[in-house]
Amino acid sequence: MNLFKKAALASSIAIGLSLSASAWAENIAIVGAKIHTVSAAGIIYKGTVLIKDGRIQQVIEGTDVPSGYRTIDAEGKVITPGFIGAATSLGLVEVSSSAGTVDAQAEPHAISTVGAALDVQYALNNDSTLIPITRIEGFTSAATGLGGSDQLFLGQGAFITLATTYRPVLKAQAFMKLNVGNSGVDNNGGSRAALWVAINQSFDEAKFAKSYAMDPSQNWLGLTTMADAKALIPVLDGKMPLVVNADRAADIVQVIALKKRHTDLNIILASGVEAWRVADELAKNNIPVILDPESNLPGAFDQIGATLENAARLHKAGVTVVIGMDTHNIRLATQHAGNAVANGLPHSAGIAALTINVAKIFGMDEQIGSLESGKVADLVIWSGDPLEVTQTAEQVFIQGEQIDMTSRQTKLRDRYLKRNALKPVGYTRP
């Protein structure tokens, strides 16, 4: 490796490490694209994005670029803010089944009886090959958390950047997960009659813990452990969003009632297969919904009302709609959003469901989620409509850096596209 390459590599790693380091980053002007600003400025049909010091300096109409910028021609292309994975386990799992340690699945441990204490911020591995596979498809950050556990709460999730960095966490303890649907019930007493009383008890203990000396010298005979109760305090105060999985209307009504009992709770409904049936109440109580818009089958008796029009109906009622499917294939959220649009969701709401709405519900909207002056320069140049299955992310920028658009998958593709049949395949280096 020559010196120049070494220097370039060092700087790109440094930029990834923290935003302040990207003061070294070059100034870039991306010129001539149709720009979804996802802000009050709406869509700019032919505009220019100016990037300086890793942030959006300005989004302007037209193609006149001030001096001092490296220009990238994006005429005929589409630019959006970087998409945000709203429900993922990115960085916590490499291969989910039969392939060794999976940090996205926790087993019982003495530290926690109800699961609230678990915290994924320590478990993140940004060398996971899933990160580049996901980011080259236009996703620049993600909410990541446990995918499963047998406990009541699924612990505290983190909000991460998908940049190349050893320190991906943008916000630790970014949300608490809870599942009150059938699958959560099955692991917690087998009946909602047990599950909900346990939830109420947990929050009551957290409330008590606020004014109790929470140290090992004290007696603590609660259902929760001390670590659990402490973890639930910021949830009670509304400082940490509570992401609650629920599908049937009756469960969602219970979730709304929980918010009425603890008025500071900042609740995000997740999955929400029958959310459309209580859309007005959700809107009135300011509860956003993270949903899979393709979920249209009665997979269980708490999903009987499933419909492809869930997203459209919720949006129409004034509910903030976020699209996320809780899968390692979160890159398919663009297609899912497109299908929500095909079934009645306005296109602009489909884009918002992958950008600003996700940023808002996780309290990240001052930094990301739209293309506005001062925000972090997470953005994507698309070949066309990003919700159209035949279009693609052509170039992704994270924190102002033009990222390498390769992944393990593109390398496998390139190896086998140009395989030298005269030698074993290991000698073809893409």
Partner 1 sequence: MLNTKLKLGLALAVSVALVTGCSDDKQEERQESVTGIDKNPFPSTYQKIDSKPIVITNVTILDGIGGKIEDGEILLKDGVIVEVGKGIRLPSGAIEIDGKGKWLTPGIIDNHSHLGVYPSPSTRSHSDGNEMTSPVTAEVWAEHSIWPQDPGFQRALAGGVTSLQILPGSANLFGGRSVTVKNLPNRTIQDMKFPEAPYGIKMACGENPKRVYGDKGGPMTRMGNVAGYRQAWIQAQEYQTKWAQYETELEAGGSPKRPSRDLNLDTLAGVLDGDIIVHMHCYRADDMGTMMDVMKEFNYKIGTFHHAIEAYKIADKLAENNVCSAMWADWWGFKMEAYDGIKENIPMVHAANACAIVHSDSDLGIQRLNQEAAKAWADGKRAGIDISQADAWQWLSANPAKSLGIFDKTGSLEAGKNADVVLWSTDPFSTYAQADKVFIDGAMVYDRSNPESWPVSDFELGQIAEGDAK
Instruction: Provide the minimum distance between the beta carbon of 64 and partner 1 in the complex, in angstroms, as a whole number.
Output: 31
The DSSP secondary structure of 348-411, one letter per residue, reads HHHHHTTTHHHHHHTT-TTTSSS--TTSB--EEEESS-TTSTT--EEEEEETTEE-----HHHH
Exposed/middle/buried for 145, CB within 10 Å: 0-12, 13-18, 19+?
buried
- Kindly report the number of other CB atoms within 10 A of residue 426's CB atom: 7
Residue closer to partner 1 by CB (options 5, 423) is 423
Residue 354 makes CB contacts below 8 A (sequence gap 6+) with: 83, 84, 86, 322, 323, 333, 334, 337
Instruction: Provide the minimum distance between the beta carbon of 405 and partner 1 in the complex, in angstroms, as a whole number.
Output: 11
Instruction: Provide the minimum distance between the beta carbon of 329 and partner 1 in the complex, in angstroms, as a whole number.
Output: 7
Residue closer to partner 1 by CB (options 111, 389) is 389
Residue closer to partner 1 by CB (options 125, 335) is 335
CA distances from 93 to 81, 132, 209 (A): 26, 14, 33
Instruction: Provide the minimum distance between the beta carbon of 89 and partner 1 in the complex, in angstroms, as a whole number.
Output: 12
Residue closer to partner 1 by CB (options 47, 338) is 338
Residue closer to partner 1 by CB (options 130, 174) is 130
User: Given the rule CB under 8 A, which residues bind partner 1?
Assistant: 95-99, 130, 133, 249, 274, 277, 294-301, 303-309, 328-329, 331-332, 335, 338-339, 341-343, 387-392, 409-410, 412-413, 416-417, 425
Q: How many whole angstroms separate alpha carbon 398 and alpha carbon 379?
A: 7
Residue closer to partner 1 by CB (options 261, 418) is 418
Query: 196-233 in b/e burial notation, b at 16+ Cβ within 10 A?
Result: bebbeebbbbbeebeeeeeeeeeeeebebbbbbbbbbb
Query: Residue 328: which of 71, 150, 103 has the closest Cα?
Result: 103
36: enclosing H helix or E strand? strand 28-36
Residue closer to partner 1 by CB (options 261, 413) is 413
Query: Residue 48: which of 371, 367, 300, 287 has the closest Cα?
Result: 371
Instruction: Provide the minimum distance between the beta carbon of 354 and partner 1 in the complex, in angstroms, as a whole number.
Output: 14
Q: How many whole angstroms separate alpha carbon 227 and alpha carbon 427?
A: 52
Residue 247: both structure tokens together = 């599908």
Instruction: Provide the minimum distance between the beta carbon of 15 and partner 1 in the complex, in angstroms, as a whole number.
Output: 28
Instruction: Provide the minimum distance between the beta carbon of 150 and partner 1 in the complex, in angstroms, as a whole number.
Output: 18
Instruction: Provide the minimum distance between the beta carbon of 342 and partner 1 in the complex, in angstroms, as a whole number.
Output: 5
293 phi, psi to nearest 5 deg? -70, -10
160: enclosing H helix or E strand? strand 153-161
Instruction: Provide the minimum distance between the beta carbon of 61 and partner 1 in the complex, in angstroms, as a whole number.
Output: 28
Residue closer to partner 1 by CB (options 204, 302) is 302
Residue closer to partner 1 by CB (options 17, 405) is 405
Residues pairing with 83 in the sheet: 139
